Amino acid sequence: MEFADLDLNQIYTYADYYKWRFEERVELIKGRIFKMSPAPNRLHQEIAGKLHLKLGNFLNGNSCKVYIAPFDVRLPRKSKEDKDITTVLQPDLCVICDPSKLDVRGCIGAPDIVVEVLSPSNNKKELKNKYEAYEEAAVKEYWVVLPYEKTMLIYTLINGKFSPSGLLASGDIVTSSVLPGFSLDIAELFSGYETE
């Protein structure tokens, strides 16, 4: 099957997604196909890499683990059966503290933290749908990194709804309610990068 053979108006499940072998990378959000952008640019990769190292070093020896894309995160609604899962995302990074959510294919259930490093090609519809999917799945923290603005937002789940941190920029230190003791200097995260 080729990507062009798919009916973009149809609702798909993880059972369908798992069988696809075409070159295009896609995500499913509530059964709808979202074609992922071309390979991320260098700035995106460097920022994601820095965050991966920072989180990985902090979590060394901890039961929480950090994973970097491509890594499937399946967000079940009705059941964990492949045929019932209609949302499969590949966040840039995710932290999972419950090992029972991990299997050989990735994560099934909400990660504790999801990190998306935005690229110019991310569209508003995609971002809105992901935000809603992560909130509905009860992701505890959703970090949105804006490399071109050298800023970051953290949405923290409070009573089932995301509450934004306010814009974090140079001079701010990021902390996490999920990872007590973790800190990230925004200026350090973006140091050495000139945006185009």
In CATH terms, the fold of domain 38-190 is: tt1808, chain A (3.90.1570)
Strands (E), 71-182: 73-74, 88-89, 93-96, 102-103, 106-108, 113-117, 141-146, 151-158, 161-164, 173-175
- pLDDT at res. 40: 72
- pLDDT at res. 39: 64
- pLDDT at res. 24: 86
- How far from 94 is each of 2, 12, 57, 81, 140, CA to CA, in Å? 29, 24, 14, 22, 11
- pLDDT at res. 69: 93
- pLDDT at res. 195: 55
Q: Which of 128, 168, 127, 152 is nearest to 47 (CA)?
A: 152
| H or E segment and range at residue 32 | strand 32-35
- pLDDT at res. 123: 67
Within the chain, which residues score under 50 in pLDDT? Answer: none
- How far from 147 is each of 128, 141, 191, CA to CA, in Å? 19, 19, 11
Question: Residue 47 has which token pair?
Answer: 């920022």
Tokens 């995302």 locate to 89
Percent of the chain at pLDDT above 70? 96
User: 162 pairs with which residues across the strands?
Assistant: 157
Could you tell me if 153 and 124 are in contact, meaning their C-beta atoms sit under 8 angstroms apart? no
- pLDDT at res. 124: 78
- pLDDT at res. 6: 92
Could you tell me if 150 and 163 are in contact, meaning their C-beta atoms sit under 8 angstroms apart? no
- pLDDT at res. 75: 97
